[in-house]
Chains A and B, each alone.
Chain A
Amino acid sequence: MDAPWLTLVIVAPLTGLPVLLLWRSISDEAARWVGLAAALAAFAVSIGMLANFETGEAGFQLVSKHPWVESVGLSWFLGVDGFSVWLVMVTTFMFPIAIAASWKVDHQVRRYMAMALFLETVILGAFLSLDLLLFFLFFEALLFPMYYIIGVWGSKRRIYAATKFLLYTMFGSAFLLVGILWLYIESGNQLGKATFDLTALEQLRLSTEAGRWLFLAFFVGFAVKVPVWPLHTWLPDAHTEAPTKGSVVLAAILLKTGPYGMLRFNLDLFPEASRYFADAIMVLAVVGIVYGAIVAMMQRDIKRLIAYSSVSHMGLIVLGIFAFSAESMDGAVLQMVNHGLSTGMLFLVFGMLYERTHTREISDLGGIVQVTPWLAGAYVVAMFSSIGLPGLNNFVGEFLVLLGTFSVDRVLASIAILGVILSAIYMLWSYQRTFQGPAKERWGSLRDLSWREGAIVAPIVVAMLWIGLQPGPMLERLRPTSELVSERIRTVQVGEAVEPLARTSGPGGEGP
């Protein structure tokens, strides 16, 4: 079917906004349904996008390009390739779930839903933009709704956490902005017309030195979002204080804009610098993996623990990206999706428990499994997914990343693989302390999962199993792109000028 799919995907969540914004006396229940319906609509549209995605193509597809502010070279330039298609899918998949999971939000529901839908739109926009300024616009625009969601509906230290989140990420994007502007001006010098068009900017011939500085600017911008050690400390606070939905979205989707940015922009625009800095970045990533895991182990707060586990897992993704092998890139992208599912589900299920117990302290919990076996079961599934058990989704990604890395650098891969052990330690240890052990009197009357909650969790479990057992369909669509990028990066020699990228443009062509 010929339709501006990508624009539709981005706009779909917005369909709920007019109702939510203008109908001020809307009942809470209705607001929830509007939010859910809009999110589901986005999911439906994204399925359509996926159906029209041509397998085996490396380049951008379903491209739509319209000038927006012509005089400054800003255009509404969207496109999807193997990297972004699954990130879009996981976004549209997780958002309805996250919204359904926040059914219990009871104040300012209308605003909550509006913010959630707005957030979804901008995140989708960030994943689909091929115009640097457009990307940056979305990248920055997602800060405020997230800030607002954490700050308004979060728990006790929410304002501190929200502010820290916002400032830290803005700090990173300050560098990103400088980099983007520099490229923009350079494009004016080299191409005659300044533009933010990614495909045009790829054609620039940058000096080695300039490329490296720009790489660093972009990298810092994305590294904060990932977060790459040691820029991670906003994450535990934000995760911990955010409401369940916020944590889910933050972990599942928002963090992915960081590694996605690296994959899309750093690697494409600055291949030489990417190679030059790869070793250092891989070291940072490995440090992050081990460090995050060890620090996670010592947390007393489950959400903090999960947050630090994210630091560890995200390190793996960065490792995969900068190992530059097709496998590791496949793995990194897969892992972005997987981490979204598994960590998202951990937050989701723990959020359900939190609704019942109102405590996040490990030491307060214990013996839950006897009382609420299904809830515990759901947690166990998410936990083992996160640990990387074969058969579940995370394993596939981890395996590919580590495999790809191992072929490049055995030592780093061998250290990184410690994360696999450490994740088992902190996860199982915390599970033991929170869910197992003698049943505590005060948790004797907890309800088990309701049907609604079960229905929220079930799709994720299905997705986890599907990816874990049948990663083929994903890899098929991913592989050509990662091979293209990997191929290009690997042919680059450190210290040598780089030939501009010759990207075979995918089908889809101009939009209507």
Chain B
Amino acid sequence: MPLDNVVFWVFAPLSIATAIGMMVVRNAVHAALFLVVNFFTIAVMYLLLDAPFLFAVQIVVYAGAIMVLFLFVIMLLGVDRGDPLGERLFGQRTTAVILAVAIVAEVATAIRAGVGFATRAPEGFEAANPGGNPSALADVLFRDYFFPFEVTSILLIVAAVAAMVLALRRSRSVTQREIEEHEGDDLEAYAMAPPGAPESMREGTR
């Protein structure tokens, strides 16, 4: 058994298991840790697919930056108590599982038609990576994809602005008095289920 097969069959189940773990555990911190592990397994897959640069980026950006940010927010908000176990929405979990299975089945069918389950990737990927993967990527990125690359900068500015606008509002003009003033009519103005919709139509308990 070739090495890459072994690696795949080790890490793929692990990947799925950690994904499931992330989904089912109660504690948010645990879930985040499962996700980090999952990201690692995906990084391994990148390695198997001859994408060493992305392997590195995956670990640095995802496992490193993004998940840390997640954990940070989890801690910040103090919501590490964990989710309640009960499902309040009728049939939500069952349907979710069914839909998940269905979408896998559909995509699998499409893949089978479009790629074929036994097709192996052709050899000769090195030819597409002159001077090594990172360098080749840089070639493509800064020539063909220079414009999208510039767009990402706009995206990041927007993200920064967004974070700034959303996060800075406490410190600015909205005073406690203003909040109190409007709190009441907020609820009135927005709690507008159509009259005549009986209570029983609303799901779950408040």
A and B touch in the complex (CB under 8 A): no
- The interface of chain B, by Cβ under 8 A from chain A, is none
- The interface of chain A, by Cβ under 8 A from chain B, is none
